[in-house]
Amino acid sequence: MKNTRTASVPVSQRRARCAGAAGFTLIELLVAVTVFLIIGGAAMSLFRNHVSQFTTQQNQVGLNTSLRNALTQMEVDIANAGTGYFTTVDKANFPIGVTIGSGGSKVACNNGQTYPAACFDTLNILSVDPNTPPGQADAGTQAGCTTTTTGTGSVIIPPAGSLNAATGLPWTAAQYAALFTTGNQVLFSSNLNYNTSVLTANGAVGAGGDIALQFQPTAAATLANNSTTDPLGISSAPDPNLQTSFCAGTSWVVKLAPQITYGVDTITNPANPALYRKIGAAGVQTPIADQIIGFRLVTTLNNCAIAMTDWPAAPGQPKCNGGNTNFNQIRTVQISLIGRTTPLPNSADTFHNAFDQGPYRIEAVSVTASPRNLSMND
Amino acid sequence: MEKSLLLRKPSRERGFTLIETLVSLAVLSIGLMSIAALMSQMVGTSAQSRAMSTAALLASEKLEDLCHYSGKVIPANLGAGGSLTADVAGFFDDVQISSSNGISARTTSELGVAETIVHRADGTVTVAAGTAAPADPDAQIYDRRWLIQANTPVNNMRTITVLVTLTNQPANSAAVSFQVSTVRP
């Protein structure tokens, strides 16, 4: 009877029962709050861990994507290296399309997490200027041949049968001369030999409609050129094909397009070495991948057993196919790219990599790209 | 009186029996276990897909390299030969890419000289004779073999096949291999 709910239960009794059975005591409340705090705290710390892990994963995915994108862009550029050499020009023994600038001897070069320029190579991708048809050497006033060591004037004429796209008519001497300007990199080519130089004056129309070119004098035959005549290092190693005499009827002058250069910018932000791509020597460095800590290039050579890791090839390095190893022997370019996620503030909790225990992740990619346009003697 | 009421109270209210608790725990643990298995499988699958994309990349780059030579001048190592089932000197190489410390290594025996090129995150590049890549527990090692068949499928055509196999597959992942082939004059 006492436990039966009826309207007849006195108010004081009901209040007493409610207070005793339905409320929480202070102890119960404290225990509940403590349990809640412990569980809530654990959940929060789990969440906090998860957030940092999520960020790390995001960063790693971002790193992977940026490395892949950079590689894809390089592969496309390398595949197109050497475009235009063999369309109209008699083939010389120089499938040049790729040159490599070595950052230095490839020893350990990092200063902790900072990477100086010596840690990175540069890659130049060359092709013929598509708007400038190769000029044919002309006897003209040069008595039949141009000697490149003098630097004064290779005489050329526009190639027969080539039309100026702007007018639809054959090139006039003045139109053609205007294509050659100071600073252009040109290749001299005969059937078997080549040389390279930089123009020192704009092309000018001379006697008989010939176009005279002024350029930096090259080194003597078979000797390597220096950075004045050959800033891209096309002929930076001695080569039996490097000749100095280019005669009418068998020789051509080819103007190169501004080269595409890949390198790593260590100056702008030393904490973030960025892989850049630029067009032409004075071009703007467009960053294509951040936090690059390794960019090295190795090449395999045409039918040569030894892969080249240092360019230009040192004189002591082995010869391939009886010739010196040079850029005209490149078959494939092996690209090693190493990136890292942005280093975090160092603490015991952060991830530490296996390379230098730094608070960032490291990822490496290694691919080989083939310059498709470089003919391998076929 | 008050004390005895308090003591009796739990027995009067219906709690969970041991069996109920055990059953619910069993159901919960089965659920949790399957979620954990799913998670680990997801990690394995993502590692596998990464490895497969690398394998595809390595296969296509080798195929492109082998296609570089036309039929006129084919160096000895690019003529007919090789195998997809065994390493044949001159017709295989290894690519080892670390997932943690940035080391990438390539070993090759092409053109009769065994050579290993290693690039490390400190900027060093080393070339050594032999095909011994640096020991690296985190490395993925891809074995690449190619087979060149002369006069296949018709006379004066070559069939070039490249097979890339991940030799140390990640945990919880199926075998990773990628094969690609082309026909060239």
Q: Which of A370, A372, A374, A375 to mutate to test the interface with B (most CBs of B within 10 A)?
A: A370
Give residue A367's Cα distance to chain centre.
Answer: 13
Per the structure, the complete domain to which residue B80 belongs is given by: 41-184
A354 close to B (CB below 8 A): yes
Provide the pLDDT for residue A284. 95
Provide the pLDDT for residue A92. 46
Provide the pLDDT for residue A95. 56
Provide the pLDDT for residue A141. 56
Does residue B19 fall inside a structural domain?
no
Q: Taking a contact as any Cβ pair under 8 Å apart, which residues of chain A between 267 and 306 contact chain B?
A: 293-294, 296, 298, 300, 303-306
- Nearest-Cα distance to chain A for B20, in Å, is 24
Q: Which of A119, A338, A365, A375 to mutate to test the interface with B (most CBs of B within 10 A)?
A: A338
- Across chain B, what does the average pLDDT equal? 82
Q: Taking a contact as any Cβ pair under 8 Å apart, which residues of chain B between 10 and 69 contact chain A?
A: 50, 57-58, 61-62, 64-65, 68-69
- In tens, the pLDDT along A254-278 reads 899 999 999 999 999 999 999 999 9
Cα angle B21-B27-B33, degrees, rounded to a multiple of 5: 130
Does residue B162 fall inside a structural domain?
yes
Q: Which amino acid is at A158?
A: P
Provide the pLDDT for residue B149. 87
> Is the reported ipTM for this assembly greater than 0.90?
no
Q: How far apart are CA A218 and CA A150, in angstroms?
A: 8
Flag if A115 and B123 touch (Cβ within 8 Å): yes
Instruction: Find chain A residues with C-beta within 8 A of B122's C-beta.
Output: 108-110, 355-356
Does residue B129 fall inside a structural domain?
yes
Q: How far apart are CA B139 and CA B79, in angstroms?
A: 32
- In tens, the pLDDT along B73-91 reads 455 555 678 889 998 888 8
Q: How far apart are CA B28 and CA A351, in angstroms?
A: 32
Residue in A307, A340, A356 nearest the CB of B127: A307
- Nearest-Cα distance to chain A for B164, in Å, is 14
Does residue B6 fall inside a structural domain?
no
With CA atoms as reference, the chain A residue closest to B9 would be A21
Contact A292, A339 (CB under 8 A): yes
Does residue B21 fall inside a structural domain?
no
Cα dist from B82 to B72, B116, B160, B175, B180, whole Å: 20, 20, 10, 22, 15
Return the structure tokens found at B5: 């009421």
Flag if B102 and A363 touch (Cβ within 8 Å): yes
Contact A170, A163 (CB under 8 A): yes
Three-state secondary structure call for residue B127: strand
Does residue B1 fall inside a structural domain?
no
- Nearest-Cα distance to chain B for A281, in Å, is 25
Three-state secondary structure call for residue A99: strand
Give the confidence band of B72 by pLDDT, cuts at 50, 70, 90. Answer: very low
Provide the pLDDT for residue B11. 55
Is pLDDT at B99 greater than 90 in this prediction?
no
Does residue B51 fall inside a structural domain?
yes
Provide the pLDDT for residue B56. 92
Provide the pLDDT for residue A268. 94
Flag if B68 and A367 touch (Cβ within 8 Å): no
Residue B163's contacts (CB-CB under 8 Å, 6 or more residues apart) are: B59, B84, B144, B145, B146, B147, B177, B178, B179
Q: Give the pTM.
A: 0.82
CB pairs under 8 A between A and B: 126
Return the structure tokens found at B100: 């943690």
Return the structure tokens found at B72: 């006129």
End-to-end alpha-carbon separation of chain B, Å? Answer: 105
Flag if A108 and B123 touch (Cβ within 8 Å): yes
Provide the pLDDT for residue B59. 93
Flag if B101 and A355 touch (Cβ within 8 Å): yes
B135 close to A (CB below 8 A): no
With CA atoms as reference, the chain B residue closest to A376 would be B69
Q: How far apart are CA A101 and CA A124, in angstroms?
A: 8
Provide the pLDDT for residue B165. 94
Residue in B50, B97, B117 nearest the CB of A364: B97
Radius of gyration of chain A (CA): 35
Residue in B111, B119, B127 nearest the CB of A294: B119
The number of domains in chain B is 1
Flag if A108 and B124 touch (Cβ within 8 Å): yes
Provide the pLDDT for residue A10. 52
Instruction: Find chain B residues with C-beta within 8 A of A356's C-beta.
Output: 121-122
Q: How far apart are CA A254 and CA A250, in angstroms?
A: 13
Does residue B26 fall inside a structural domain?
no
Low-confidence residues of chain A: pLDDT under 70: 1-21, 85-95, 139-143, 303, 313-325, 373-378
Q: Which candidate, A83, A94, A129, places its Cα nearest to that of A243? A: A94
Q: Taking a contact as any Cβ pair under 8 Å apart, which residues of chain A between 88 and 147 contact chain B?
A: 103, 106-110, 115, 118-120
Q: Which of B8, B53, B120 to mutate to test the interface with A (most CBs of A within 10 A)?
A: B120
A336 close to B (CB below 8 A): yes
